[in-house]
Amino acid sequence: MTTLATETTIDPALQSAYDEVLRRNPGEHEFHQAVEEVLGSLGPVVRRHPHYLEASVIERLCEPERQIIFRVPWTDDAGQVQINRGFRVEYSSVLGPYKGGLRFHPSVMLGTVKFLGFEQIFKNALTGMPIGGGKGGSDFDPKGRSDAEVMRFCQSFMTELYRHLGEYTDVPAGDIGVGGREIGYLFGQYKRITNRYEAGVLTGKGLAWGGSRARTEATGFGTVYFAREMARHAGLSLEGTRVVVSGSGNVAIYAIAKVTELGGTVVACSDSSGYVVDEAGIDLELLREVKEERRERISAYAARRPGATFVAAGSIWDVPCDVALPCATQNELDEAAARQLVSHGLEIVAEGANMPCTPGAVRVFREAGVLFGPGKAANAGGVATSALEMQQNASRDSWTFEHTDARLGQIMTSIHERVVTTAEDYGRPGDYVFGANASGFTQVADAMLAMGVI
Ligand code: NAP
């Protein structure tokens, strides 16, 4: 295993840009973390290309093009008026319309949406597709709400947001708490208000009304395709490995499916109430029944599966594995968890979620020589397949599952190639964090420079 240098400090040439981010965005810790992670990689890039500094590209990129915050009033089943807050951060449109998901979770704040939007710019650039970066959401919690309540919330949310959207302007999709049901209600309201069947305005739609085959599976499948490329590149294989996947939502379920198909065994998965260990390998059919159909807690899986155990306290990262795929949420895997994983012989981490590993955890992985695939590269398959959905909508076409999945596989391979090549070009072989940040940034920065002071 090769140990990578731990460059976490920001180059002095970039420090003032970062200080300005801290001053202008007080209290937005996740946003600070995401910016620090990217700027921490860019020292060698601006030393080689000082014109990025001269044109203040970094300062410009740290400021979103537009930030929208709005009230979302709706009525619950008891007739009580509820108020939530809605957000859309239209971060960068230099490569195409703003593109990125909506998150409905009580923890959502402006800083959460900004961190996700900032990450999305570089992720979308890495796909090589014509999409800019944006993200949105609300502090609404769909858990425990009836379908009728979720529908009324989505309708109210879209009644404000629709004026900012359009297939050439801003194209949201799902994220935590926003799946096929929510996209259906959001699209229905958009269509109603605008009197237009503008299929390309939202992605993650149902197959009967403009959705793409393989979009549901894309983020989880793509993460595993990326992990497979990482393994291949290092002369390893996912076949026969022991894998832990955190979460049990959209990304986690399809990561589990793909790992199993490729001959790995997923021995644990989780939700916010705890985790299950199933040494025989997670039974996907049962997991989908519990989480997707019945919307139950993960303990219901262990209750129905002989040999499986549910652990309410502790961390899923205590479970020994060769490959870790964090697919739940940001900062779910900290330094202590990383040390525990390394002590158990961990070889590969690929982030299915956005920023699930803390900076301390990433440092531990790098020092231990664990292969680490950051989310902006590893989980880009979801947004890439959203762009494929937009292509199908624009051409009034519908591709087969096999064709779309094959395109997804090619895109993940080419992202891997791009990241590896960039890292090698800068004399940092195997440094996926550097390769992803430098490559994504360069593409966005060059487009910005070509367009003048924007
Ligand atoms: P999801 O379907 O809503 O599932 C989220 C899963 O993570 C659930 O099992 C949830 O458990 C768990 N979780 C959420 N917050 C948690 C917390 N604070 N602590 C512990 N567990 C928590 O969402 P998803 O679409 O799979 O998204 C998962 C991650 O992937 C997010 O970081 C998202 O930004 C990222 N991502 C998603 C896509 C996509 O296409 N969907 C694309 C790229 C990246 P509970 O049910 O108990 O809350």
Q: Is the CB of 175 under 6 A from ligand 1?
A: yes
What CATH code is carried by the domain that includes residue 255? 3.40.50.720
- Given a contact cutoff of 8 angstroms between Cβ atoms, the answer to whether 324 and 339 are in contact is no
Q: Domain check: are 243 and 300 in the same one? A: yes
123 labeled binding residue:
yes
Report if residue 389 sits inside a domain. Answer: no
- Is residue 134 located within the same domain as residue 14? no
Tokens of 3: 């140990």
Residue 4: per-residue pLDDT: 72
**Do residues 327 and 253 touch, judged by C-beta distance below 8 A?**
no
- The answer on 70 and 41 residing in a single domain is no
Give the SS3 label for residue 311. Answer: strand
Do the domain assignments include residue 211? no
Q: Is 100 in the pocket of ligand 1 (CB under 6 A)?
A: no
| Among 114, 135, 258, 291, the one annotated catalytic | 135
Nearest CA to ligand 1 atom 37: 175
Does 71 share its domain with 194? yes
Residue 29 falls inside a structural domain: yes
Check if 135 is active-site. yes
The domain boundary residue, chosen from 202, 227, 249: 202
* Ramachandran region, residue 199 (left: φ > 0; alpha: ψ -120 to 50; beta: rest): alpha
> What pLDDT sits at residue 93?
98
**Which DSSP helix (H) or strand (E) runs through 242?**
strand 242-246
- Residue 386 inside a domain? The answer is no
Domain count, the chain: 3
DSSP 360-400: HHHHHHHHHT-EEE-HHHHTTHHHHHHHHHHHHHHTT----
Q: Do 252 and 117 lie in a common domain?
A: no
Reduced to 3 states (helix: H, G, I; strand: E, B; else coil), residue 337 is helix
**Are 310 and 302 in contact, with CB atoms under 8 Å apart?**
yes
Q: Per-block average pLDDT, block size 10, for the chain (454 residues)?
A: 66 97 98 98 98 97 98 98 98 98 98 98 98 98 97 99 98 98 98 98 98 98 98 98 98 98 98 98 98 96 98 96 98 98 98 98 98 98 98 97 98 98 98 98 98 95
145 within a domain of the structure (yes/no): yes
212 is in an annotated binding site: no
Nearest to 185 by CA among 207, 153, 216, 140: 153
Say which amino acid occupies 317: W
240 and 144 both lie in a single domain: no
Q: Which of 276, 245, 263, 257 is nearest to 216 (CA)?
A: 257
Last residue of some domain: 172, 202, 232? 202
Tell me what pLDDT residue 1 has. 53
Q: Which residue's alpha carbon is nearest to atom 31 within ligand 1?
A: 353
Element spanning 91, H or E: strand 81-92
Residues 224 and 97 in one domain: no
Q: Which domain holds residue 48?
A: 1-63+430-454
**CB distance 255 to ligand 1 below 6 Å:** no
Among residues 141, 168, 202, the one where a domain terminates is 202
Is 99 annotated to bind a ligand? Reply is yes
What pLDDT, on the 0 to 100 scale, is given for residue 9? 85
- Pair 323, 240 in one domain: yes
Domain shared by 233 and 171, yes or no = no
Same-domain check for residues 229 and 191: no
Query: What's the pTM value of the predicted model, to 2 decimals?
Result: 0.97
Instruction: Give the pLDDT score at 5.
Output: 58
Give the number of the atom of ligand 1 that is nearest the alpha carbon of residue 375. Answer: 44
- CA dist 203 and 186 (Å) reads 11
Residues 232 and 350 in one domain: yes
Ligand 1 centroid to Cα of residue 421, in Å, is 30
Return the CATH number at 197. 3.40.50.10860
What whole-number distance in Å separates Cα of residue 142 and Cα of residue 136?
16
Cα–Cα dist 214/249, whole Å:
16
Q: Which of 202, 269, 271, 301 to mutate to test the pocket of ligand 1 (most atoms within 8 A of CB)?
A: 271
421 within some domain: no
Q: Is 287 in the pocket of ligand 1 (CB under 6 A)?
A: no
Are 88 and 159 within one domain? Answer: yes
Asked if residues 352 and 374 have their Cβ atoms less than 8 Å apart, the reply is no
| Residue 153 CB coordination number (10 Å) | 27
Radius of gyration of the chain from Cα atoms?
Answer: 21
